[in-house]
Chains A and B, each alone.
Chain A
Amino acid sequence: MKSNIISMENISTVTIDYRQYLSTVEVAEIEHEVSIMETREAAGIEALKIIQEHRGWVSDESLYAIADLLNMPEAELEGVATFYNLIYRQAVGQFVIHLCDSVACHLTGYEQIYQTIKSHLGIEYGQTTDDGKFTFLSNVCLGGCDKAPSMMIGKQHYQSLTPENVVEILGDLAKQESKHD
């Protein structure tokens, strides 16, 4: 009888030498984080964020290279990367919209803002516009409850949103040129 148990030989593992993949600046920034921690893998989350800052998101190759640099199993780093909300494991647009969907915003007009963004950009949560400008995500409470509804785009928080000003904000951003142009 054939066994269905997966043997190790059938699992393909990919190792990427970080020296061939990460830039010296990226490595230096990650090594700084390593230097303030007791273990190399403790810098994993900051390392993922550093790569994301430079490259927009964390590809499989990036993840393998970070794991190599930090001398930890790729699977373990993947477990970490997929646990946290702010690590993008898929390509994202130039601007990532994080719309707060928690209770204060819920009580003060979240639904209208959500519908406005959705119809203005023609995308749902988790999707990116065809022109690669915007990715639309929900976010847990952004701590802007006194000026709800609120959202975060990149590092910028926007508060006291209305259907009108949200369209204006998106319009202004759409005019900005891509970093990589």
Chain B
Amino acid sequence: MTEAMRPLTHLVNLKSPLSLSDYMSEGGYQGASKALHEYSPKQVLDLVSDSGLKGRGGAGFPTGMKWSCVPMFDDNDDNAPEFKYLVANADEMEPGTFKDRYLLEGVPHQLVESMIIGAYTMVANRGYIFLRGEYHLAAQRLQQAIDEAYQNNWLGKNIQGTQFSFDLYVHTSAGRYICGEETALINALEGRRAIPRAKPPFPQMSGLFGKPTVVNNVETLSNLPHILKHGTAWFKALSPDSDSGTKIYAACGRVKTPGLWELPMGTTIREILYQHAGGMADGLKLRGLLPGGASTDFLLPEHLDTPMDFDSISKAGSRLGTGGLIVLDDKSCPVAMVLNLIKFFAQESCGWCTPCRDGTPWAVEVLTRIENGTGRKEDLDTLHNLCDFMWLGKTHCALAPGAVEPLKSALRYFLDDFEQHIDHGCCSYKQNTAQKTKLKGHCHG
């Protein structure tokens, strides 16, 4: 029953994840077995395309379409490259996002199985799990799962007696948010500075070491064994009114019970926030929220009934992103929150293009001034100009536009707060804190 409802997380055990044999006795590796023994790569691709699976890393790109661009070669084709690569993007660094960590630490064999299926589909013979450096426990557990898979011929040469061979390695990053961008990730894997590449060429044609490469998010990949096992009709029926499948949603900030929950794709914000996260912590009211990590636009209480899927959240003016709600309460300062977010983007900018390298620290400087009570009226114009200056089409990648999203929407929804900081020369939210005595001006809470 639970597998049918919560395929991705029903085997999660954070204390002691399942060993290969235990994972198998719970139905693990059946999806991979089915793919290898019963389907051709093309048939698996068609299955995944038909399932409607969309990328869970933030962009929501159809997975089948992404894979369909990988060049295929006949066995004896002289043009066939020595390697094709499948890379799992486990560089989870989007603030407010911790879903992949849960899967990596809780059920590492699921990702290994998923990568076998993905690699078989694109006939990739090498794979890497690109893991953020801070996830030490996940690194250890993944390596253990990979070792077990090698010992039992789920990895290596002629997997389970088939013609398919696949080697899988863990690469632990040395830490930069930009590595989550797939072409930056590829540069990082090549041992370079993680600066995004220009596209085209797309990684499917020329990716890691110039070879055909696909980069998929951990949660995206983790759906594969279940799609293989239960079929596309089942997968679509998980969320009949929305995009297919389930989604791991999360909530953090000052809510009663922060956490994460695997729910049908398209569950409303209200259900996630009030039913699962228990609503706001005592004495606090909901002011707004970022629906899918730091790089998404604020939404308001009026948006609570919006289904959390790609199209609906987009229509409401934001992005589903990673599906992790970051909740702003009425006793926390929106300006300070946006300042915190933009500081993150300024620090993590790779520095390659001018709008991002100069624009994000500039926004930090202006926001710091406003938050500290020394802002000027024209600062708001500067922030608006920066939002325009760093928007899509003007930057090398999506990092700076991602920074613009919370900033621009905050200027729209919480303009009063920005203006009050400037008019009164202080942050009224600090009235309740120890800094009260240091403040001058007219902030009376």
What residues of chain A have their CB less than 8 Å away from a CB belonging to chain B? 36-39, 41-46, 48-49, 79-80, 83-87, 98, 101-104, 106-108, 139-148, 152, 155-157
Contact = CB atoms under 8 A, between A and B. Distances in A.
B337 interface: yes
B175 A146 contact: no
A148 B253 CA distance: 8
Nearest to A47: B191
B258 A103 contact: no
Nearest to B82: A38
A102 B169 contact: no
B411 interface: no
A41 B97 CA distance: 32
A102 B340 contact: yes
Contacts of B193: 79-80, 83
Nearest to B332: A107
A146 B250 contact: yes
B98 interface: yes
A49 B328 CA distance: 37
B134 A83 contact: no
Contact of A145 (B96, B134, B348): B96
A144 B260 CA distance: 11
Contact of B189 (A42, A103, A155): A42
Nearest to B98: A143
B209 interface: yes
B191 A45 contact: yes
Contacts of B337: 103, 106-107
Interface stretch (B87-95, B115-123, B302-310, B371-379): B87-95
B191 A41 contact: yes
A83 B175 CA distance: 9
Interface of B: 83, 92-98, 101, 132-137, 167, 169, 171-177, 188-194, 209, 250-254, 258-260, 294, 324, 326-329, 332, 336-337, 340-341, 343-344, 347-348, 350
A104 B189 contact: no
A152 B83 CA distance: 37
Given A107-B337, A108-B253, A145-B98, A38 B209 contact: yes
Contacts of A139: 134
A46 B95 contact: no
Contact of A108 (B133, B134, B254): B254
A140 B254 contact: no
Contacts of B188: 45
A140 B348 contact: yes
Given A42-B189, A145-B258, A107 B328 contact: yes
30 contacts: A36-B167, A36-B169, A41-B191, A42-B191, A46-B171, A48-B174, A80-B191, A80-B192, A84-B174, A84-B176, A86-B173, A102-B95, A102-B294, A103-B95, A103-B326, A104-B326, A106-B336, A107-B254, A107-B327, A140-B177, A141-B344, A143-B93, A143-B97, A145-B98, A145-B252, A145-B324, A146-B251, A148-B258, A152-B134, A155-B136
B412 to A, nearest CB: 19
B295 to A, nearest CB: 11
B190 A39 contact: yes
Contact of B341 (A44, A103, A152): A103
A83 B96 contact: no
B177 to A, nearest CB: 6
B134 A98 contact: yes
A48 B171 CA distance: 13
Nearest to B210: A38
A43 to B, nearest CB: 6
A38 B189 CA distance: 10
A45 to B, nearest CB: 5
Contact of B98 (A36, A106, A144): A144
A44 B191 contact: yes
A85 to B, nearest CB: 4
Contacts of A83: 176, 193-194, 350
A143 B175 contact: no
A49 B252 contact: no
Contacts of A79: 193
Contacts of A86: 133-134, 173-175
Contacts of A143: 92-93, 97-98, 101, 132, 134-135
B344 A49 contact: no
A38 to B, nearest CB: 4
A120 B336 CA distance: 25
Contact of B347 (A43, A46, A140, A144): A140
A146 B254 CA distance: 10
Given A84-B174, A103-B341, A42 B252 contact: no
B96 A103 contact: yes
A108 B332 CA distance: 10
B252 A104 contact: yes
Contacts of B209: 38-39, 42
Contact of B176 (A44, A85, A148): A85
B191 A107 contact: no
A146 B327 CA distance: 12
Given A45-B188, A80-B193, 6 more contacts: A46-B172, A101-B343, A103-B340, A107-B328, A141-B94, A143-B135
B89 to A, nearest CB: 14
Contacts of B194: 83-84
Given A86-B134, A103-B341, A104-B252, A145 B174 contact: no
Contacts of A144: 98
A73 to B, nearest CB: 12
